[in-house]
């Protein structure tokens, strides 16, 4: 078995008095696709956002590629890293958002170039890589368009190209197709399947059970801040043991 690229242990997070994550343990092997399922409010986004330190956990840790995210070990303590170090860690973890979050004042090309420039890539090289990626997501020739001139599906494909431009070792998807009109879901899932086939490690929050069945190596079911069921899609999706998981699946299928 391949060693886990992502190791999450004892992760806790609360907002105010609301305990959102109550001890998450999860391994994501390198090159695998993990799909997170669960009802709204179960903590899927929060878990994903702890992985690239957009949220700080209260307890527990996330390790990616052997590095603890956001902290460094100091004897019995985990000390939070300076901004600069967190920034460097984030550069190696891509993220795709439900609302795309493309930079509206920048062209498609500039959107994909921006992260590369921050990582020290020369502009020329960054631009040719951006064009290459655009072609891969089926948007060759749209370099000079602004995000608002594209359809939702096209915008999300640009966002995916942007997220992979720095060759991340891991990419996080938070409901990438939930804001799309139904006829555009397929094109985005198609790009994601291509990435999975190319061996990228992905953690995907989605309600697209078809995608989970086809592309996932493991499916994880979250409820009330805990993992209540995890395993290969064949098992978890076909006959879930957990009652909540069963109810959720019969509702979305």
Ligand X SMILES: Nc1ncnc2c1ncn2[C@@H]1O[C@H](COP(=O)(O)OP(=O)(O)O)[C@@H](O)[C@H]1O
Residue closer to other proteins by CB (options 203, 245) is 203
Interface region with Mg ion, contact rule CB under 5 A, candidates 42-50, 77-85, 148-156, 160-168: 42-50
Cα dihedral 48→54→57→62 (10° resolution): 60
Q: Residue 177, interface with ligand X (CB under 6 A)?
A: no
Q: Report yes or no: 196 and 217 within 8 Å, Cβ to Cβ.
A: no
Residue closer to Mg ion by CB (options 3, 15) is 15
Q: Residue 44, interface with ligand X (CB under 6 A)?
A: yes
Q: Residue 168, interface with ligand X (CB under 6 A)?
A: no
Phi-psi region of 127 (alpha: psi -120 to 50; beta: other; left: phi over 0): alpha
What number of chain residues touch ligand X (CB under 6 A)? 11
Query: 3-class DSSP state for residue 193?
Result: helix
- CA separation for the pair 60, 12 (Å, rounded): 6
CA distances to 1, 84, 130, 184 from 52, in Å: 25, 14, 23, 28
Among 34, 42, 111, 201, binds ligand X (CB under 6 A): 42
- Other CB atoms within a 10 A radius of the CB of residue 86 amount to 17
Residue closer to Mg ion by CB (options 93, 130) is 93
Interface region with Mg ion, contact rule CB under 5 A, candidates 39-47, 71-79, 108-116, 245-253: 39-47
Query: Per CB under 6 A, which of residues 115..144 are in contact with ligand X?
Result: none
Strand pairing category for 67-68 and 71-74: unpaired
Q: Residue 53, interface with ligand X (CB under 6 A)?
A: no
| Residue 15 contact, options ligand X, Mg ion, other proteins, none, Cβ 5-8 Å cut-off depending on partner type | ligand X
Q: Residue 57, interface with ligand X (CB under 6 A)?
A: no
Apex 111 CA angle, 172 and 197, nearest 5? 40
User: In degrees rounded to 5, what are phi and psi of residue 218?
Assistant: -140, 145
Least Å distance, CB 55 to other proteins, is: 10
Q: Residue 107, interface with Mg ion (CB under 5 A)?
A: no
Secondary structure string (H, E, C) spanning 97-140:
CCCCCCCCCCCHHHHHHHHHHHCCCCHHHHHHHHHHHHHHCCCC
Interface region with Mg ion, contact rule CB under 5 A, candidates 38-46, 186-194, 223-231, 234-242: 38-46
Give the DSSP H or E segment for 227. Answer: strand 226-231
| Residue 40 contact, options other proteins, ligand X, Mg ion, none, Cβ 5-8 Å cut-off depending on partner type | ligand X
- Binding region for other proteins (CB under 8 A): 52, 54, 83-84, 87-88, 90-95, 97, 99, 101-107, 114-115, 118-119, 146-148, 162-163, 166, 172
Query: Per CB under 6 A, which of residues 2..21 are in contact with ligand X?
Result: 15, 18, 20
Least Å distance, CB 205 to Mg ion, is: 6
C-alpha atoms less than 13 angstroms from C-alpha of 70 in its C-beta half-sphere: 14
Which residues are near Mg ion by CB under 5 A?
A: 45
Which residues are near ligand X by CB under 6 A?
A: 15, 18, 20, 38, 40-46
């Amino acid at each position: 078995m391949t060693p886990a690229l992502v190791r999450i242990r004892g992760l806790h997070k609360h907002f105010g008095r609301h305990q959102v994550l109550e001890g998450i343990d999860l391994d994501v092997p390198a090159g695998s696709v993990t799909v997170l399922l669960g009802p709204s409010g179960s903590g899927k986004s929060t878990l994903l956002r702890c992985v690239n330190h957009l949220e700080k956990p209260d307890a527990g840790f996330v390790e990616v590629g052997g590095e603890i995210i956001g902290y460094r070990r100091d004897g019995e303590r985990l000390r939070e890293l300076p901004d600069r170090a967190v920034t460097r860690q984030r550069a190696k973890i891509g993220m795709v958002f439900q609302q795309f979050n493309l930079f509206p004042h920048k062209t498609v090309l500039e959107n994909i170039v921006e992260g590369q420039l921050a990582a020290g890539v020369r502009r020329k090289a960054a631009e040719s890589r951006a064009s290459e990626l655009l072609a891969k997501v089926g948007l060759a020739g749209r370099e000079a368009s602004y995000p608002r001139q594209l359809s939702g599906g096209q915008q999300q494909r640009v966002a995916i190209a942007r997220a992979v431009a720095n060759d991340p070792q891991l990419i996080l998807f938070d409901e990438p197709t939930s804001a799309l009109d139904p006829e555009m879901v397929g094109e985005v899932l198609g790009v994601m399947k291509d990435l999975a086939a190319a061996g990228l490690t992905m953690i995907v929050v989605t309600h697209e059970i078809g995608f989970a069945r086809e592309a996932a190596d493991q499916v994880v079911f979250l409820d009330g801040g805990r993992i209540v069921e995890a395993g290969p899609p064949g098992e978890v999706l076909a006959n879930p043991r957990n009652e909540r998981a069963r109810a959720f699946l019969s509702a979305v299928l």
